[in-house]
Amino acid sequence: MKHIRLLAAAAVLFCLCGSAGAQVVKTKTKVEGDEVKYKSKGFLYTFQEQSKIYQPTYSAQFVPGNQAYATQVLNAWKSYEANLLDLSPDFLADTVAAMLPDGTVIKGKGAFVTAIKAYRSGFSAMKTTVEAWMPVKSIDQNKESVCIWGIWNCTKTDGTKLKQAVHELWFFNSDGKVDYFRQFTQQLPNN
C-alpha cells in the first residue's frame, strides 16, 4: 500500500514538473486577486495555465482552510468509531446532502443520521486509523471543506471482517454546518 502511494506521489511530481529531470524542492502558493500562483524551484504555474489541461467543474484554487472544521470531522470519525452517533449531528445542516460509494444519495439531516446509524449498527466493532486530513478553502467558491483519508477495520455483527480505505469530503456552509458529504471507499485485504 505504501509503495502505491509513493508511486502515485512520484507520478504527480513528475507531471507537475514537466520533465523527468526537474526536481521540486520547495513550493510556494501566492494569492493575487482572483489568481492563485504556484512556484516550485523556478517554475511558475497559474490557474489559467493549468486549466488549459482540464477545466475544473468545481474549483482548482484552494488555500489552507479552517482547522476548527477539521476538528469537527475528526470528532465525527471518533463518534462513528465508538458508535456514539448521537454526539455529532449538531454540525450538520438541515439540508445536508450525501453521496455514498454505491451511488446512494441521501438528502436531509434526519435521513443522513438515520442511514449512518443503520450502516454502523451492522458492525460489532470498529478500529479507525486516520492517515491524513486537510482543511481547505476554495477561493473562487468561497467554501470551506475538509478532506480526510483513513482505514476502517471492522467486525460485522456476524463476525466477518471488513477492511476499507476511506476518503471523505465534508463541505461546510457559511453557518459552519456540513451541507454536503461525499465518501469513497476501497476494499482492502484483511491481513
Q: H or E stretch including 17?
A: helix 2-17
Q: Residue 81 and residue 176: Cα distance in Å, rounded?
A: 23
Q: Residue 41 and residue 51: Cα distance in Å, rounded?
A: 21
- CA torsion through residues 140, 171, 63, 18, sign: negative
* Sequence ranges of the domains in the chain: 2-55, 64-187
Q: Residue 67 and residue 81: Cα distance in Å, rounded?
A: 21
Spell out the per-residue pLDDT of the chain, length 191, in tens. 444 444 344 443 434 444 333 334 455 556 666 555 555 555 555 666 666 777 888 888 889 999 999 999 999 999 999 998 875 678 999 999 999 999 999 999 999 999 999 999 999 999 999 999 999 999 989 999 999 999 999 999 999 999 999 999 999 999 999 999 999 999 999 87
Residue 35 confidence (pLDDT): 59
Residue 54 confidence (pLDDT): 79
Q: What is the pTM of this model?
A: 0.75
Q: Is the distance from CB of 178 to CB of 172 less than 8 angstroms? A: yes
Residue 106 confidence (pLDDT): 97
β-bridge pairing 123-138 and 105-107 = unpaired
Q: Residue 34 and residue 49: Cα distance in Å, rounded?
A: 14
Residue 33 confidence (pLDDT): 60
Residue 70 confidence (pLDDT): 97
Please tell me the CATH code under which domain 64-187 is placed.
3.10.450.50
